[in-house]
């Protein structure tokens, strides 16, 4: 059964609080796990949600502020203790890779798995991961330090076979994959059976954009144009818009305007300032600009399909 799901492990900003942990998410795509950012406490929430270290092979770090990566050395050390094999690729800026190498060489010399560092360059737009069903691409965000967002795009799915038509035309099993991929069926006598007679439309492919720390910028909406679900930081409410701009952050309303500008269908807001005892005001302000807003919370799972 195909699955495309976002797990929220942390949605607070700056420091852990009694209500929220720093930024961390795990995308589950058909049982392959992809972590985005790794704040303190990430591995604890990872275990509480019943996720498996053995399925985690790619970690994407948006930028080099502590609340987005202080959990990474501990997570990798725990994975080593669990005798995880193979490799783990960390997608990270160059200075972060240098620091992580020094840390892991000192504390984790005998790791049973290889750590591969994929260097993200400032302002870069490229595909950093691809398999048969998914791509992950980077795009720039606009914070106080170089910062990257990530888009997870499901590749086009196969069309659905019409069993009655397949049987009627005696289509051999060897031709079914080609037909599901959109090909016509050519009989031995040269008769062409159009694909539209043998199949129905494929299920839509889903996409997810992760917009970490960033001030409001229309270039973000342009880079994520057409995605289905957007996660966008919403650190402050309207009354603190000037502070948001000064610190390279966004308000909840601004997050909603970016999602609307991108033509998204759903918005998840997070990265909440510790000043809030409730996210009600952030939800209210975002909902005034965008119809479908979800407030992130630790343990929340959002199905993308």
CATH code for position 14: 3.60.15.10
Active-site annotation holds for 67: yes
Does residue 42 register a pLDDT over 60?
A: yes
**Same domain, residue pair 37 and 137:** yes
Q: Which of these is catalytic: 28, 31, 37, 67?
A: 67
**Same domain, residue pair 21 and 84:** yes
Q: Which of 173, 200, 227 is the last residue of a domain?
A: 200
Q: Phi and psi (nearest 5°) for 196?
A: -65, -20
pTM of the model: 0.92
pLDDT at 202: 84
**Same domain, residue pair 186 and 276:** no
Does residue 1 register a pLDDT over 80?
A: no
**Same domain, residue pair 222 and 109:** yes
Residue 265, CA distances (Å) to 156, 224, 292 in order: 19, 12, 7
Percentage of the chain surpassing pLDDT 70?
99
Does residue 118 register a pLDDT over 60?
A: yes
Does residue 39 register a pLDDT over 60?
A: yes
**Same domain, residue pair 208 and 196:** no
* Domains held by the chain: number: 2
**Same domain, residue pair 185 and 50:** no
**What is the rounded CA–CA span in Å between residue 2 and residue 232?**
25
158-212 pLDDT, tens per residue?
Answer: 888 898 988 988 888 888 898 888 999 888 888 888 898 888 988 899 999 999 9
Continuous segment of H or E residues that includes residue 120: strand 114-120
Q: Where is average pLDDT lowest: 27-31, 99-103, 138-142, 187-191?
A: 187-191
**Same domain, residue pair 133 and 270:** yes
Residue 190 lies in domain: 160-200
211-268 pLDDT, tens per residue?
Answer: 999 999 999 999 999 999 999 999 999 999 999 999 999 999 999 999 999 999 999 9
**Same domain, residue pair 120 and 150:** yes
Q: Which of 169, 200, 231 is the last residue of a domain?
A: 200
**Same domain, residue pair 183 and 111:** no
Question: Which burial class, exposed, middle or buried, applies to 301 when counting CB atoms under 10 A from its CB (0-12, 13-18, 19+)?
Answer: exposed
pLDDT at 175: 87
**Same domain, residue pair 167 and 130:** no
């Amino acid at each position: 059964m195909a699955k495309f799901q976002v797990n929220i492990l942390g949605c607070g900003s700056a420091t852990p609080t009694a209500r929220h942990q720093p930024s961390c998410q795990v995308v589950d795509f058909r049982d392959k796990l992809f972590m985005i950012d790794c704040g303190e406490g990430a591995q604890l929430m990872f275990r509480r949600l019943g996720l498996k270290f053995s399925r985690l092979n790619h970690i994407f770090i948006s930028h080099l502020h502590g609340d987005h990566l202080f959990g990474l050395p501990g997570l990798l050390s725990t994975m080593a203790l669990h005798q995880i094999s193979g490799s783990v690729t960390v997608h990270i800026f160059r200075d972060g890779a240098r620091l992580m190498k020094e840390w892991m060489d000192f504390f984790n010399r005998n790791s049973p798995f290889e750590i591969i560092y994929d260097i993200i360059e400032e302002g870069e737009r490229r595909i950093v991961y691809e398999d048969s069903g998914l791509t992950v691409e980077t795009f720039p965000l606009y914070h106080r330090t170089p910062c990257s967002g990530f888009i997870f795009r499901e590749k086009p799915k196969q069309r659905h076979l019409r069993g009655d038509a397949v049987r009627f035309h005696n289509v051999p099993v060897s031709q079914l994959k080609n037909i599901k991929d959109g090909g016509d069926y050519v009989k031995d006598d040269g008769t062409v059976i159009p694909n539209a007679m043998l199949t129905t439309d494929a299920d839509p492919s889903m996409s997810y954009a992760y917009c970490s720390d960033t001030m409001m910028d229309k270039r973000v909406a342009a880079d994520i144009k057409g995605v289905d679900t957007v996660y966008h930081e919403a650190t402050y409410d309207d009354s603190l818009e000037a502070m948001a701009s000064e610190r390279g952050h966004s308000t909840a309303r601004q997050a909603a305007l970016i999602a609307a500008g991108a033509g998204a269908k759903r918005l998840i807001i997070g990265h909440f300032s510790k000043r809030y005892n409730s996210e009600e005001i952030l939800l209210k302000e975002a909902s005034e600009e965008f119809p479908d807003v979800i407030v992130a919370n630790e343990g929340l799972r959002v199905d993308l399909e």
